[in-house]
Structure 1
Amino acid sequence: MWPPPAGAYLDEYFNLHYPANVRHGDSLEPGLDEILDPHWVQYPPQNPIINLLVGVAMILLLFMSILGNGCVLYIFLKTEKLRTSSNVFVINLALSDLIMMLTHGLPVGINIFIKRYWMWGVQNCKIFAFLGGITGTVSIMSMVLIGYDRCNVIVGGLTAKRISKKKAVMMVLALWSYATVSAMGPFFGWGHYGLEGLLITCSYDYIKKDFVNQSFILYTLITHFLIPMCFVIYFYAKITRAVVVHEAELRSQAKKMGVDSIKQANSNENAEFKIAKVAMTNVLLWIGTWCPYTIVVLIGLTGNYATLTPLVAGMPSLLVKTTSSLNPLVFAVAHPGYREAMAENLPCLGIGVRDVKKGLANGSQTVAAST
C-alpha cells in the first residue's frame, strides 16, 4: 500500500503508523480468498520498506545463485575428471538450487517493484508453492545423499563399495520423482497452498486447522526435515570421528618416525579427508537455515498464532532461499578438483590455483605445434 492512505504518519523513530481501520493485505488483488488465510489480514500493514528489502534480497540471491550454481554446473559438466558418481549428487544439488531461485527469486523480484503484494493470481501461487516444495525437498535430500556417499567413501576406505555413476543417476531420478509426487498433495485435496505472512510469496499453508491440512504439514515436516536431519547428523558425525581417528594415527606415526612437525606428517592428507573437515559447517549451515522455518511451521501446527506475525512468518522463508546461494561455496568450492578446474576454466573469478605443470605442458604443445 504505497503511497500510504490518508492519516498515515511517521514518528520520530521513522516508524510508519496507519489508521486503525487499515489492515495488512488491503491492497491485494481481488479474488485471492482461496490462498489468503484470515489470520494475516487481522494485522496492521507492515512497513513497505520490509517488502522492498525482501524484493531486493531476492534479486541479489538470484544473481548469487545463478553465478554460484551456474559455475558448479559448468565446471563439473565440462571437466571430465569431475564427472564422477559422487559429484552427480553435487551437480543435482546445484541444479535444484538454481531452479529454486529462478522460479522464486525472479517473480518476487519483479512483483515487489510493481505491486506491494502478490500480483500473479491464485493458480500461479499454487505453481510457485509446488515448485518450491519440489526443489526444497530435492535440495535437502541431495545433502543427505552427499553425506551418505562421503561417509561411505571416507569411513569405509578402500574396502567400501563405491556407488556407480548409473546408480547415482537412478537415485537422483528417484529423488525428483518422489519430491514431485509429495508436492502434488494439495492439488488432490491433501494439504493446501497459500500466501505466506508478508503476502509476497506462497508455500504450503501451515495455518489452516483442519486435520487434512495439518496431517500433510506434519508428514512434510517429519519426512522432509526431521528424518533427513537425523541422517545428515549421523553421516557427518561418522565422518568427523573418522577424521579424528585418522589424525590421531598420523600423530602416532609422526612420533615413531621422529618427525618434529605434525603438519609435516599431515601434508599428504588425501582430498577426501580435507573435504570432510567442512562436515560440521555443512550441518550447521543446513540446520541454521532450515530450523527457523521449521519452528514457524511448528507454531502454526500448535495453534499459538499470537506469536505468528507476518514478519515472524516471512523472514525464515527468505533465510531458506539463502541456502541456494551458499551451497555452492560449501559443497563445491571446498573441493580441490573443483577449485583447480575453476582456475583453469574461469581464471577471472580468482578461485583456486592453476596446475602449473599442466599449463607448462599445454604451452609446450602449443609451441611445438606452431613450429
Structure 2
Amino acid sequence: MAIGTRNVSEALPFRGGGGVEFGYPEGFTLLDMVPDEMKPFIHSHWSKFPPVNPMWHYLLGVIFLFLGFFSIIGNGMVIYLFSCKKNLRSPANMFVVNLAFSDVMMMISQFPMYVYNCFNGGFWALGPLACQIHAFGGALFGLCSLMTLAAVGYDRYCVIVKAFDGGHISATKAFFIILLCWAYATGVSIPPFLGWNSYVPEGILTSCSFDYMSRDWGTRSFGLFLFIMCYCFPLTIIIFVYSQIVGAIRAHEKALREQAKKMNVENLRSNADANKQSAEVRIAKVAVSNVFLWLLTWTPYAAVVMMGLFGDQDKMTPLVSALPGLIAKTASVYNPMMYAISHPKFRLALQEVWPWFCVHEKKDDDSKSTKTENEK
C-alpha cells in the first residue's frame, strides 16, 4: 500500500547487504508514514525523526484499549447508579455524575480512533476532519473534567468550611456551576476552529491535539492562554479550597481538644458526631488524593506543551510528546474508581444493585433515630 511518496513495503522488512533485515530504510522519516492529505497539517519538526518501533504502536494501542474499556465500564456504573438510586441524587453527586459523563465521553471520542490508527500502520489514517473532531473531543471533555474536579473541591469547601454560614450548594446552584464548566470548556476548545491555533497530529502521529510546536505569536499566545486557563486556573482553585478544608478541619479538631481539656473529659463528641466528622475527613482526604493524582496526570502534558512552545524542541521526540497525552487520559479511568471505592453512599448502592461486586459497606445505624423523629 502506497503511503505518501514512499512505499511501506520498503520498510518492513527490506533487504540489506547480507540478507533480510527488519527495520526502516536509511532516511525514512516519520512524515513518510502518513498519507499525502495529512502532510500539510503536520509540523516539519516530526520529519527529523524516523518512525518509532512498531512495538510502541501495538503496546500503546493495547493500553488504550484497556483504558477505554475500564473507563466506559467505571463511569457507566456511576451514571447508572445515580439514575436508579434516588438517595444519590444530591447536589454534591451531581458534580460526580457530570465528571463521570465528561470522562466517558472523552474516552469514547478518543480511544476508537487512537486504537484504529495504532493497529492500522501507526499513523493518522482517518483524514483531517476526523483529526479535528478527535482533538476537539479531547479538549472539550478533558477540560470539562478538570473544571468539574475544581467544582467538586468547591462543594467540599462549602460543606466543611462554610457549613455554619449556610454554604451548602443547592441543586439549582450545582446545575448552574455544571453549565459553567461546560461553557468554560467549550470557550477554550473553539478558538482553533476560528484561526487561533489549530488541531494537528502530534507525537507519533496516531492522535491529534493543539499545535504546540509552531513558534509564531498566534500559536504561542494560544499556548499561554491554554496553560493559564486549563492548568494554572483550575490548579489555583483546587489548592485554595483544599488548603482551606485542611485548615478548617485542623482548627476544629484543635478547638475540640482544648475544650475537652478544660472540661476534664476525653472527647466532646457523641458517637454519631464522631462518625459524621470521620466521614467528612475521609471525603476530604479522598478529594485531596484525587487532586494529587490530577497533578501527576496533567503536569507532564502541560510541561510538554510549554517545552514545545518555548523550550528546546530537540528534546521533543515523538514518544516524549505522545506519552504525556496518554497519561492524561488515564484520569477518565481512576476518577470513577476513586469515588466508587471511597464514597459510602455509592458503595452502598453498588452493594445493593450488584451484590456480586464484592463491596462490603456497613449501613449507618440511623434508621431508628429517623423513624423516631418521624413518629414525633
1:285 Cα deviation from its structure 2 partner: 0.4
* Helix, strand or coil at the partner of 2:167: coil
Spell out, residue by residue over 1:207-253, the C-alpha distance to the aligned partner (whole angstroms, 9 max, x if none).
01111121111111101111110110111111122222334345456
Q: TM-score, normalised by structure 1?
A: 0.88
1:127 to 1:303, Cα distance in 2 relative to 1, 3 A? same
1:8 Cα deviation from its structure 2 partner: 7.4
Mark the runs of 5 or more structure 2 residues left unpaired by the alignment: 1-7, 368-376
2:113 to 107, 111, 115: 107
1:316 to 1:80, Cα distance in 2 relative to 1, 3 A? same
1:34 to 1:177, Cα distance in 2 relative to 1, 3 A? farther
1:307 to 315, 326, 341: 315
1:190 to 196, 220, 231: 196
Q: Which residue of 2 aligns with 1:364?
A: none
Query: Which stretch of the first structure deviates more once superposed, 185-194 or 102-111?
Result: 102-111
Q: Percent identity?
A: 37
Q: Is the 8 A contact 1:342 1:352 kept in 2?
A: no
Q: Which residue of 2 aligns with 1:276?
A: 284
Query: Which stretch of the first structure deviates more once superposed, 89-98 or 268-277?
Result: 268-277
Q: Which residue of 2 aligns with 1:337?
A: 345
Spell out, residue by residue over 1:59-95, the C-alpha distance to the aligned partner (whole angstroms, 9 max, x if none).
1000110111111111122211111111111111110
1:258 to 1:164, Cα distance in 2 relative to 1, 3 A? closer
Residue type of the partner of 2:190? M
* Helix, strand or coil at the partner of 2:29: coil
Q: Which residue of 1 aligns with 2:3?
A: none
* Helix, strand or coil at the partner of 1:208: coil
Q: Is the 8 A contact 2:136 2:189 kept in 1?
A: yes
Q: Is the 8 A contact 1:198 1:314 kept in 2?
A: yes
Q: Which residue of 1 aligns with 2:359?
A: 351
Query: Which stretch of the first structure deviates more once superposed, 58-67 or 278-287?
Result: 278-287
The answer to whether the aligner puts 1:141 opposite 2:147 as a matched pair is: yes
1:107 Cα deviation from its structure 2 partner: 1.6
1:72 to 75, 78, 85: 78
May I ask how many residue pairs the two structures share in their alignment? 353
Q: TM-score, normalised by structure 2?
A: 0.86
Residue type of the partner of 2:90? T
Spell out, residue by residue over 1:110-167, the C-alpha distance to the aligned partner (whole angstroms, 9 max, x if none).
3322232111101110111111110111011001111111111101123232221122
Query: Which stretch of the first structure deviates more once superposed, 177-186 or 89-98?
Result: 177-186
The answer to whether the aligner puts 1:4 opposite 2:5 as a matched pair is: no
The answer to whether the aligner puts 1:81 opposite 2:84 as a matched pair is: no
1:75 to 1:44, Cα distance in 2 relative to 1, 3 A? same
Following the alignment from structure 1 to structure 2, what is the Cα–Cα distance between the partners of residues 57 and 161? 42
Query: Which stretch of the first structure deviates more once superposed, 154-163 or 246-255?
Result: 246-255
Q: Is the 8 A contact 1:206 1:217 kept in 2?
A: yes
Q: Which residue of 1 aligns with 2:373?
A: none
Residue type of the partner of 1:309? T
The answer to whether the aligner puts 1:292 opposite 2:314 as a matched pair is: no
Residue type of the partner of 1:138? C
Q: Is the 8 A contact 2:113 2:134 kept in 1?
A: no
1:61 to 1:199, Cα distance in 2 relative to 1, 3 A? same
Mark the runs of 5 or more structure 1 residues left unpaired by the alignment: 10-14, 360-371
Q: Is the 8 A contact 2:74 2:337 kept in 1?
A: yes
Following the alignment from structure 1 to structure 2, what is the Cα–Cα distance between the partners of residues 236 and 258? 29
Residues 5-24 of structure 1: matches in 2 within 5 Å? 5-7=13-15, 18-24=24-30
